[in-house]
Structure 1
């Protein structure tokens, strides 16, 4: 579910104007590894550049449908961009203005912003509201629109993104991270082994479970547990989903087919309490420094 609400150029312009007038809460660096650094977008030009990166990945590379995208804009944009923070990865060796150094992005939507605007993006596919109602004392963050340009898709870039996300969570007192993650293609059976592994081995306890909304629910339990080759199933998973698994995430009940973006979406739930200590220690020192 990279994107399914694409706005026309007039709506996009209004959203960008709102972004331009928004005083940013945290413009400093949130992480750094070598020549790469991560921080939040500081102004509308940087958000627009992140939207261009998203367009290159979701539309040019992965073939999302273009009928709702303005031909001249070449940007992936929706109404949520104006209320989100945009985590950026920048390659500081690229010459020119900083917005041209953006090589990856992640969209961050905090609970208070979502509620003020009428809900989360993933509400269109999964029953997130019921999960939040069960945990009124927790602060939720929705992660979405993750993408990195092909030449930067490395373990180092993933680690930098998580360093930035962890620092952001420390700054804002986040307790639970949620969001959609995608398999490429609209036929769940093509990912039967990987989806079945998630269904059998990586489901949350009932109090943390989230179900796909009824009209769009598709089963992930496509193979019996004993027929799943764990190593092969893990190898077939997208890197983002494997990254969530390494951190300690769990996955909701059912998947959703997004025909516009050509994906099969699953729902990720990650309480900060579940993150293994080795990852807290790994990301924590730098994150604490950048969150201070």
Structure 2
């Protein structure tokens, strides 16, 4: 859901010198690809440009006029989030030219100091937080990768970065919106129904779409769901979350601006499959440099 725009510095000095990233700040590396947090406004700007290419040029999102003019996906949350990058060092040019994927990360303490989480515009996040007063949550959002880099290596690095970040900051759970393409939930009836019937977040982790925005996910009866076909119809990002052990909130939300149908993913750290913890390393050391 589009929000108010940040002021955007269109006069940034293109000759700004970038300091070499200290090795301990690199969260993971596979071949020529590495993942770390953005350190400068120019790197955040480049991540916003990647988001624009994916969300607007590829997925046909309609952003506010200033964002469309700047060819950047920008909103007010960018200023308070950390921006995880995947960088291909084999690409010649400036660091901005090397960014091929990004995730936006928002920590609990920061969100509470700045009016809440982005996902609260679509889902009832507050009751979930209130049931876990002793836990810190981390919101994942704006995940995107350029088409040529939608490979296992890139996904592994993104998750390496998320996992390392969560461990560093003592996060107890991750959550965030994940999207199906298009604004007609019925076109994804099989996949949405599978999520509703099989991986719905319940009990202390239950969370629902805002009543004024809610669209039903229970579109196919349980006996009519072919699991193999449902999973095949699932966006890769959502399938990735499910493999990790994620649950899905109750109800979907149509985001007309981004041309998507959104569900809320909830992933307690304690629920992450041991297979993946062992793969990435309990200390996030699997792909660390």
Q: When the two structures are superposed, what TM-score results if normalisation uses the length of structure 2?
A: 0.92
Rounded to whole Å, the distance in 1 between the matches of 2:68 and 2:274 is 47
Match of 2:87 among 86, 90, 102: 90
Match of 2:260 among 256, 260, 263: 263
CA deviations on 1:69-111 (whole Å, 9 max, x unpaired) are: 3444110000000000000000010112212210000000000
Partner of 1:23: none
TM-superposed deviation, 1:227: 0.1
TM-superposed deviation, 1:184: 0.2
Q: Does the C-alpha gap of structure 1 residues 235 and 65 become closer, same or farther in structure 2, counting only changes over 3 Å?
A: same
Aligned length: 281
Contact 1:87 1:164 in 2 (8 A): yes
Partner of 2:210: 213
Partner of 1:33: 30
Rounded to whole Å, the distance in 1 between the matches of 2:162 and 2:282 is 13
SS at match of 1:32: strand
Rounded to whole Å, the distance in 1 between the matches of 2:168 and 2:228 is 37
Partner of 1:109: 106
Contact 2:254 2:261 in 1 (8 A): yes
Contact 1:27 1:39 in 2 (8 A): no
Match of 1:12 among 8, 12, 22: 8
Q: CA RMSD in A?
A: 2.3
Match of 1:127 among 115, 124, 127: 124
CA deviations on 1:212-267 (whole Å, 9 max, x unpaired) are: 00100111100100101110010011000000000000000000000111100000
Partner of 2:225: 228
SS at match of 2:183: coil
Structure 1 unaligned blocks of 5 or more:
17-25
TM-superposed deviation, 1:207: 1.2
Contact 1:64 1:261 in 2 (8 A): yes
1:148 partnered with 2:142: no
Match of 1:204 among 198, 201, 205: 201
Rounded to whole Å, the distance in 2 between the matches of 1:28 and 1:5 is 31
Q: Does the C-alpha gap of structure 1 residues 76 and 65 become closer, same or farther in structure 2, counting only changes over 3 Å?
A: same
Which runs of 4 or more aligned residues in structure 1 lie more than 4 Å from their structure 2 counterparts after TM superposition?
Answer: 289-292
Contact 1:166 1:284 in 2 (8 A): no
The structure with the greater share of residues assigned to helix is: 1
Match of 2:248 among 247, 251, 268: 251
Q: When the two structures are superposed, what TM-score results if normalisation uses the length of structure 1?
A: 0.91
Q: Does the C-alpha gap of structure 1 residues 88 and 58 become closer, same or farther in structure 2, counting only changes over 3 Å?
A: same
Structure 2 unaligned blocks of 5 or more:
13-22
Rounded to whole Å, the distance in 1 between the matches of 2:32 and 2:239 is 25
Contact 1:254 1:266 in 2 (8 A): yes
TM-superposed deviation, 1:205: 2.4
Match of 1:170 among 159, 167, 172: 167
TM-superposed deviation, 1:156: 1.3
Contact 2:29 2:288 in 1 (8 A): no
